[in-house]
A and B are shown apart, each in its own frame.
Chain A
Amino acid sequence: QKEVEQNSGPLSVPEGAIASLNCTYSDRGSQSFFWYRQYSGKSPELIMSIYSNGDKEDGRFTAQLNKASQYVSLLIRDSQPSDSATYLCAVNGGGNNRLAFGKGNQVVVIP
């Protein structure tokens, strides 16, 4: 059974600072890694996908993947109040395209 672990939150960061979120996974055969953002009362929204070791940047978001250490992280630069949400780490590696989700990290950006 795939397991995805996210360190417990919530994470409070001042506006303009960097928010750093970490995620570890147990299935070494996992191939695809995703970060979803979920606002309270809304459904998850895909914000980052990463498949190769290293960094991937998209605007203020940077995802980092290290398959040897089995972790994936998300950095949010210049955090804004609108970034306040729960961030879900998801991992895919098996058949039927199922994703294994972490429990999520709540981020609170303080103006």
Chain B
Amino acid sequence: GAVVSQHPSWVICKSGTSVKIECRSLDFQATTMFWYRQFPKQSLMLMATSNEGSKATYEQGVEKDKFLINHASLTLSTLTVTSAHPEDSSFYICSAGARDRAYNEQFFGPGTRLTVL
């Protein structure tokens, strides 16, 4: 149980285009989903927290108009990187907190490696 998928696993795009990343909880309902970014050899950086049916809460310094998050259902959240630039190239990882878990474990998706040319 507690499987989270992400799609795509990697993407290469041209500067100025938008990229959408999907995060799905496959066998549980996710009350909350989280989006992280990780640069090479650095620690995880939380970008935003999203709850189903409400607006995402962004961390300080993360542009909400650039990183659009939609959490339309208890099993799906999407992150759209708008007008991507080379500095947005990174490893984007989502995680999901299960609705029926008492202790707030987060289960991570496999990640999406974004390369912006």
Taking the complex as formed, is B110 at the interface, i.e. its CB lies under 8 A from any CB of chain A? yes
Give residues in B with beta carbon < 8 Å to A: 31-32, 34, 43-44, 46, 49, 51, 57, 91, 93, 97, 103-111
Instruction: Write out, one digit per residue, whether chain A residues 19-45 have a CB within 8 A of any chain B CB (1) or not (0).
Output: 000000000000110101000011111
Whether B107 contacts A97 by the Cβ 8 Å rule is no
> B64 → chain A, closest Cβ, in Å?
16
CA distance A96 to B44 in the complex (A): 18
By a CB distance below 8 angstroms, the chain A residues around B93 are 43-44
CA distance A44 to B97 in the complex (A): 14
Whether A96 contacts B110 by the Cβ 8 Å rule is no
Residues of A28-66 whose CB lies within 8 A of B: 31-32, 34, 36, 41-46, 49, 51
Whether A97 contacts B44 by the Cβ 8 Å rule is no
Whether B32 contacts A97 by the Cβ 8 Å rule is yes
Between A and B, 19 residue pairs with Cβ closer than 8 Å are A31-B104, A32-B103, A34-B106, A44-B108, A46-B108, A92-B103, A96-B32, A96-B49, A96-B51, A96-B57, A97-B31, A97-B32, A97-B49, A97-B97, A97-B106, A98-B34, A98-B49, A99-B104, A102-B43
By a CB distance below 8 angstroms, the chain A residues around B97 are 97
Known contacts: A43-B93, A88-B44. The answer to whether A99 contacts B106 by CB under 8 A is yes
By a CB distance below 8 angstroms, the chain A residues around B46 are 98
Whether B105 contacts A42 by the Cβ 8 Å rule is no
Partner of A34, one of B91, B105, B111: B105
By a CB distance below 8 angstroms, the chain B residues around A98 are 34, 46, 49
By a CB distance below 8 angstroms, the chain B residues around A96 are 32, 49, 51, 57
> B55 → chain A, closest Cβ, in Å?
13
Partner of A46, one of B31, B57, B106, B110: B106
> A101 → chain B, closest Cβ, in Å?
5
> B67 → chain A, closest Cβ, in Å?
17
Known contacts: A42-B110, A96-B32, A97-B32. The answer to whether A32 contacts B44 by CB under 8 A is no
